[in-house]
Structure 1
Amino acid sequence: MTVRPYSDRQGSKREQVEEMFDSISPRYDLLNRLFSLGIDQGWRKRVVRMLGREPVERLLDVATGTADLAILGSTKAREVVGVDISEGMLKLGREKVQKRQLTDRVTLQRADSADLPFTDAHFDAVTVAFGVRNFEDLERGIAEMVRVLRP
């Protein structure tokens, strides 16, 4: 299923999402906390608890944004890779990772959920928080996450 772009302007939904998040990235965390009344933080903690008691070797966080879930995921994974299409969001995420001294465990890179640059069965766990709503092709994005997940 392909989702239509947000506006009638030129450009795919992916391009529009990338542009939008690049432009709001400096205020994203604040807006997310305000609009969700802080509930977004609880949701992320719940996702990390769902990873189980035992640490996983490799965790992929898709649509990582400013890396909140990737950073939390580092408490349960030896290696975390966060991917996002917005360089603006990744820049803020990298600053957070560095501030928390997690650069040896958490790496962030620009990538599209519909074309993940990893081999099949590369990760022990895959997470995605709110970014799934912005996938241009939901079925392909989910198929890619399944492809890189170990059985």
Structure 2
Amino acid sequence: MKGQEWYQADNVAEEYDDKRFSRGGRLIDRREKQAVLDALGPVDDRSILEVACGTGRFTVMLAERGADIVGLDISGPMLQQGRQKAAAADVDDHVEFMRGDAARLPFPDDHFDAVLAMRFFHLADTPAAFLAEMRRVAKEQVVFDTFNRFSTRSTYNWALPMGSRLYSRWEVDRLLDGAGLELTEATHDWVLPYGFYRKIPNELAASFRSIDTVIGGTPLGKKIASVSYWNTHV
């Protein structure tokens, strides 16, 4: 997986949320969390696995809403950040953080009601194998996101330190077919790339986000959106 060593550094874990979700990045955080909630629906008493949970942004949010959730990540420092968030939110009894490999999930078949992976597939070197594992342990639902090939992200992806794996709709359809998953809903967003929002103040970002949303609501906007959220069922 791309960036595996980088993600496991202590300083990266400690600074991760501040660097990505401060300033205009707050809009990104709110939108991603809403996308997860929209896809999963009510989570009270549902068992959920979050693959590549990182610092536990989504893990803790879902636990606060009553989910029984396991957050799995390969980075010990990232998991420690998640544990601190869970303790601060007083949801320790709903959350378990585990270090593990997404290519070999340590759970039996059909173990979770739903499996979630956000900000993961752009780093995946073998996406079909990862998605097949997620489907294996899911009884009902698999939710994930991708960065899109024909989008603004493609114009600067080459300049990123680790780059990103970009997906066309055809590639996603092929992944779903290979994993035996049926698409329930696809949502496409963010005409302007994430990196742009992170560089500007939150107040200014809100104005650009309004423009972004208007363009994104058009047929052209949906075609050039940089991010897609995929809600699938088993």
Deviates more, 1:122-131 or 1:54-63: 54-63
**Matched AA of 2:29:** D
**Matched AA of 1:65:** G
Measure how far apart 1:35 and its partner are. 7.9
Give the aligned partner of residue 135 of structure 1: 124
Residue pairs, 1:109-120, within 5 angstroms:
109-120=98-109
Give the aligned partner of residue 91 of structure 1: 80
How does the TM-score come out when normalised to structure 1?
0.82
Q: Whose Rg is larger?
A: 2
Give the aligned partner of residue 49 of structure 2: 60
Q: RMSD over aligned Cα, in angstroms? A: 1.8
> In the alignment, is the contact (CA less than 8 A) between 2:46 and 2:67 conserved in 1?
yes
Q: Quick one: structure 1 residues 92 and 126, their matched pair in 2 at CA, closer, same or farther if it must change by over 3 Å?
A: same
1:36-57: CA deviations, max 9, x gaps? 6221332122212321136352
Question: Which structure ranks higher in relative contact order (CA pairs < 8 Å, sequence separation ≥ 6)?
Answer: 1
Give the aligned partner of residue 20 of structure 2: 32
The list of structure 1 runs, each at least 4 consecutive aligned residues, that deviate by more than 6 angstroms after superposition, is none
**Matched AA of 1:28:** Y
1:21 equivalent to 2:7? Answer yes
> In the alignment, is the contact (CA less than 8 A) between 1:45 and 1:72 conserved in 2?
no
1:17-38: CA deviations, max 9, x gaps? 3320122111100111148622
1:85-125: CA deviations, max 9, x gaps? 11110111111111111110011100111110000000001
The structure where strand makes up a greater share of residues is: 2
Give the aligned partner of residue 3 of structure 1: none
Alignment gaps of 5+ in structure 2: 141-234
Between the two proteins, what is the percent identity of the paired residues? 31
Deviates more, 1:69-78 or 1:88-97: 69-78
Number of residue pairs the alignment of both structures matches: 137
Q: Quick one: structure 1 residues 108 and 54, their matched pair in 2 at CA, closer, same or farther if it must change by over 3 Å?
A: closer
How does the TM-score come out when normalised to structure 2?
0.54
